[in-house]
Every structure is written in structure tokens, then in C-alpha cells.
Amino acid sequence: MKIETINVANYSRNDEYPGVETRPDGETHLLYGPNVTGKTKTFLALSHAVLGSQMDTRPGKGSSVGVGFTDGSHLHRGSPKNTFETDRHDSKSENVESRMNEVLGRRPILQTYFLHSNTSELPLSRLGVDTVLDIVRSVTVPGVQDEIAEKRREMGQREDERNTVVSEQQEVDGEIEEVDSEIDSIEAERDAAENVVRLGNTGELETIRDALEEQDTAAAELDSLLAERDEVEEELQDVKSSREELQEDLHEPLSQLKSTVAEDEHCPVCEENVPRSTVDDRVDANQCPLCGLENSIEGYLGRFENLKQAAESQIDGTNERVGRLNEQLDELDEEIEAVRSDQPDLSEFDTAVRKRLEAHDRELSAVIDAARDDRDAAVDRLDQRRQQRQELSTRREELEDRRERLGNEIERLRDEISELEGEARDGISEFTETWHDLLEEMTETIRRGLDITSGGGIQVGGSSPRDYGPEDLSTSERHVLNLAFAVAVNETVDSDRAALDTIVIDEPFTHFDEDVREEVLSFVLNDDDRQYILTSADPFVSDEVSDPRQQRLERTDVQWELGNIPTEDNSEEES
């Protein structure tokens, strides 16, 4: 089956691509034109039509891509809806993909038939190594590959089941942890209640109650003593303050005399100023503070002598009172210490027991009855939680067994897949030889050994192989390898797995030097078993292809909008 007609409209979201309508009639066909004439857009439109979502193509709104095939079937993708029509069947949108799979071929295989001008978008560059191996096995040993795919599907299901089991195990483990915590808490409650009952039976509970009451009595006595001590302390401070005031009164006569003279600051006779320091010195020397006359203040001081004696007598009485109060404080401190030392030590008694006594006003029978009730309730709750714990443990063991069985099944399937992959090595080797022969037939300029490793890697070269990739292979080598790979797939595959015999290539000769270009073009034009849809802006290619087998594309006269002007970076994509 080959492509007979191509009709593309409104595919691009830009106005510069008006679309294309051409009729290859199952023959190799060239879409020729300069840059910005829609060659790559047409390539992408065909990819979108045949592969659908398999390639990263983004058609414009209202796009319409129609492809007719030489067997009479017709594919339409886009507005108003997707259809696939054959002589025997008319498939609408809901089953277009499955019908295309049956008639055109399996998508993974058809992907290799579309060779982008961008090297990174070539099949061998874009598809992973596992996919490449799957494709090769699919075209060489299809039965083995189908069995591998089925076992992979089954293994995926088992892995999903195991992941579900693991999630359930984690949930059960969380529940077990919560139940274990509850059991520990309930056991502590039960033991505490049982301890109260035991203490009640042995009489120790009564001892604890008496100790609590003794402590209350001691605490009340201690509070009374501390309050009394505070009162004595306060009285002592007041007495000491009074004594300090009396001591100041002893020096009051001289202080008043000095202050009075200092305020006048001059002698009443000579009216001369008298400094304060001179006043202080004269008074202390029993002289007149103003004139310095000897013994002139004795009479003044005599008037205050009675007051001084009275003050001294009061001070003596105050001192005696201070002494008595200090003795009283010492006595109180001794009593306080004695009460504290006689207080019962409650640290040896369980705090929970003391709380239960307080909660029931220290009524022993009420405390013991409540403890029995709490103990019995705790036992019932423990039975429930332990039953729940047993059920969870059983569930955990069942999940673990199931997880182990699934793990064994996964390992079995993995081993079987590995064995099947080993069985397919001969088919892969035969395909590699076909690929290598086609590569040599395609160009004599590039002659390399070729190998597909067991891991799916592609190596080129004999004694010093190079891996497929931009680091080891040139752009030209990678394009030739992809073209030879596509031809090898098409030549090897059974028609019931991929009936399409068309390879679509965008700008295939851009990356070749002149010798390779001529060799590859000659191979393509002389390959009667396959149809090639080519795009190119190379005049040499156009000259080699007869006019009936090419469609010339013209650049449309478009007013570019600011920000939408083609640059060197996007010219390849817009070509």
C-alpha cells in the first residue's frame, strides 16, 4: 500500500502556508520549492495524519489533512472530524485509530518511515533504545515480540498490584502503630487502677490518706508560723526605723545651730560673711559660730541636754526591743524548720493514687470501688484492642504473602522476557545484516560495521565501534543510518503488521556532501519496492526527478507581522 493523493489545508497557524494538493499515484514524489513554501509543513501534516499523537505536531485551528492510498482507502484527520474509509469499512472518529492500525500498520513501526530534517527528531534519535529493539523484534520475530509485549503488560499489572499492596501495608502498619499505642495506654490505666485496689486491700491506701491529712495539718501550721514571722519581721523593721530617727535627734541641737548661722551667712555685729566650713569648725570647738568667742555656746547646748538624755533613754529601750524581736524570729525559724522536717514524705506515693484520693474526698471505699470499675473497663477495652491488633496482624501477614507472591511473579515474568529477548537475538542479527547491506547499497562513501547491542544501543564501526549520537557520528552519518533503518524495517516487516510501503523524508539531502547526495538519491529513485515522498529545495534533486513525479511549491506573497519574521533559527522549521 502506498500514498495516492495528498490534500492539506489550513494546517499551519500562520498564513504563509496555503496548503498543498498533489497526486503521487503510488510513485516516488518530490515536493520541491525554496524556503518558506511549506515543505516541512507538508511533511508534518502527513506525519500528523498517519501517526496522530505519536509525533509532536501542532496543526492549526480548522486544519484538514486528507491522504488517499492505492488500495482505495482514504484517511482524513482534522475538521470537521477524523475518518478512515476503506472499501469494506467506514470508521468514524471513535475508532479511526484502531482501524488504521489494522489497515496501515502498527504505529511504532510506521514511526520509522517519517524522517525529519532535524537530526534530533529522526527515529533513531528520538525513540528510546527499548523502543528500537521492540520495533526490530516486531518486524523480525513478531510472535516473540507479541509474547514479550504481553508479558510486559502482565508484569506492569503485577507491579501495579504490588504497589497497591505496598500502600495497603503502609496503611495497616500505621493502624497497628496506633493500636499498639492505645494498648500501651490502656495497660497503664489498668495497672494504675489495679494498684489502687491492691493498696486498699493491704491497708497501704489508708496510710497514704493519713499521710495526706498529716501533711495538710503540717501545711496549715506552717502557713500560720510563716504569717507570724512576717508580722514580727515587719515590726522589727519599724523599730529599727524609729531607732535611726532617735539617733538623728541626738545631734539635732548642733545641726540646727549650724543650719541657722549658715542661712544668715554674715555676722550680725560686723555684718561680714561667715563661710559654712568656718561655722562647722567653731561649733565643734565650743566657740561662737559667728565671732569665735570661746565657750559661747555652752548655754545654748545646755538647753538641749534634757532632750538628749531622753533620746538616749529611748534608744536604749529600742535596742532592747530589737533584741527581743530578733530572738522571737529565731524561735519562729526553729519552729518552722521543725514543722518542715516533720512533714510526711509523699514522694514515695504514686501521684495517680493521691489524685484518686483527692477526687473522692479521701473516702477509701469510694476510691477502691472506682478503681475496680476503671480496672474492669480497661480490661474490656484491652480485649477489644488486642482482637483488633490480631486482625491487623493477620491482614499484614496476608499482604506480605501477596506482596511476596507478586514479587516472585514479576521476577518470573522478567526472566521469561529476558529469555524471549535472548531467543530474538538471531532475528535482530539478521535484521542488522539487512540494515548493513542496505547501508552499503545506499552509499559506498560510508562503509561501516553495524551492530545492535543487547541493550538496544547502536554501534557503527568494526574494531573501534562508535555509538549512535552527536558525539560520535556526524549529521550525515546519522541521516543515512536512519534512512537505511527505515528501508530495512519496511523490507523485513510482514504486510499484516505494516502494509504501508511509503517513506516520507523532509529535506534528506541537505546534510550530505555531493558524493553521498548522488548515491542516496540514486538509491531512492531506483527503489521500485517502496514509495518515497521527498521534500527538497535542492535544484540538483529537482533536476534528477522527472516533472510528473514532482510538485513545485511557490512562496506566497505574505505581509510579515512584527515578531513573526523568519530567522535563521526557525527557517528550517518553516521550510
327 contact partners, CB below 8 Å, separation of at least 6: none
Does the structure show a pLDDT above 60 at 563?
no
Q: Are residues 412 and 437 in the same domain?
A: no
Q: Is 573 within a domain?
A: no
Count Cβ neighbours within 10 Å for each residue of 402-438 and write b for 16 or more, e otherwise: bbeebeebbeebeeebeebbeebeebbeebbebbbeb
Share of the chain above pLDDT 90, in %: 44
Of the listed ranges 70-79, 132-141, 269-278, the one predicted with least confidence: 269-278
**Per-residue pLDDT at 271 exceeds 60:** no
Q: In what order do the strands lie in the sheet with 3-9?
A: 20-22, 3-9, 64-69, 74-78, 83-85, 90-91
pLDDT band at 36 (very low <50, low <70, confident <90, very high): confident
Which residues are CB-contacts of 431 (< 8 A; sequence separation ≥ 6)?
A: 136, 139, 140, 452, 488, 492
Tell me whether residue 201 is in a domain: yes
User: Where is the domain boundary, 498, 527, 548?
Assistant: 498
32: confidence class by pLDDT, cuts 50, 70, 90: very high
Summarize pLDDT for 170-182 with one digit per residue, the tens: 999 999 999 999 9
Please check whether residue 273 is in contact with residue 352, taking contact to mean a CB–CB distance below 8 angstroms.
no
Among 18-32, 189-203, 387-401, 548-562, top mean pLDDT goes to 387-401
Does residue 526 sit in the same domain as residue 491?
A: no
% of the chain with per-residue pLDDT over 70: 80
Q: How many domains does the chain have?
A: 3
Res. 82 pLDDT band, cuts 50 70 90: confident
Residues 350 and 314 both lie in one domain: yes
Widest CA span of the chain, in angstroms? Answer: 156
In 3D, which of 99, 106, 98 has the Cα closest to residue 139? 106
Residues 543 and 438 in one domain: no
The answer on 400 and 335 residing in a single domain is yes
Q: Are residues 477 and 371 in the same domain?
A: no
Both 161 and 207 in one domain: the answer is yes
* More confident position, 187 or 253: 187
Same domain for 441 and 418:
no
Beta bridge partners of 90: 85
In a domain, 281, yes or no: no
Same-domain pairing of 330 and 389? yes
pLDDT class of 95 with cuts at 50, 70, 90: confident
Looking at residue 120, the DSSP 8-state letter turns out to be: G
Domain membership of residue 367 (yes or no) is yes
Higher pLDDT, 103 or 159: 159
Q: Are 431 and 504 members of one domain?
A: no
Which H or E run includes 32?
Answer: strand 29-32
CA distances from 272 to 264, 265, 287, 294, 297 (A): 10, 8, 17, 19, 20
Q: How confident is the model at residue 515 (pLDDT cuts 50, 70, 90)?
A: confident
Residue 575's pLDDT is what?
A: 44
Task: Say yes or no to pLDDT of 372 above 90.
Answer: yes
Q: Is residue 404 part of a domain?
A: yes
Confirm whether 547 is domain-assigned: yes
The last residue of one of the domains, among 423, 445, 468, is 423
d(CA 7, CA 68): 9
Q: Which of 477, 498, 519 is the last residue of a domain?
A: 498
Q: Are residues 62 and 160 in the same domain?
A: no
Q: Please indicate, yes or no, whether residues 490 and 433 belong to a single structural domain of this protein.
A: yes
**Per-residue model confidence (pLDDT) at position 573:** 43
- The enclosing domain of 95 has a CATH number of 3.40.50.300
Asked whether residue 466 is domain-assigned, the answer is yes
Q: Kindly report the backbone phi and psi dihedral angles of residue 352, in degrees, each rounded to the nearest multiple of 5, phi listed first.
A: -65, -35
pLDDT exceeds cutoff 90 at 255: no
Q: Which of 111-120, 138-147, 352-361 has the lowest mean pLDDT?
A: 352-361
Contact 372/193 with Cβ under 8 angstroms?
A: yes
Does residue 93 lie within any of the structural domains? yes
Residue 131, domain extent: 119-141+427-498
371 has a pLDDT exceeding 70: yes
pLDDT of residue 2: 95
Q: What is the average pLDDT across 360-373?
A: 92
Helices (H), 424-474: 425-442
- List the one residue out of 539, 501, 500 whose CA is nearest residue 521: 539
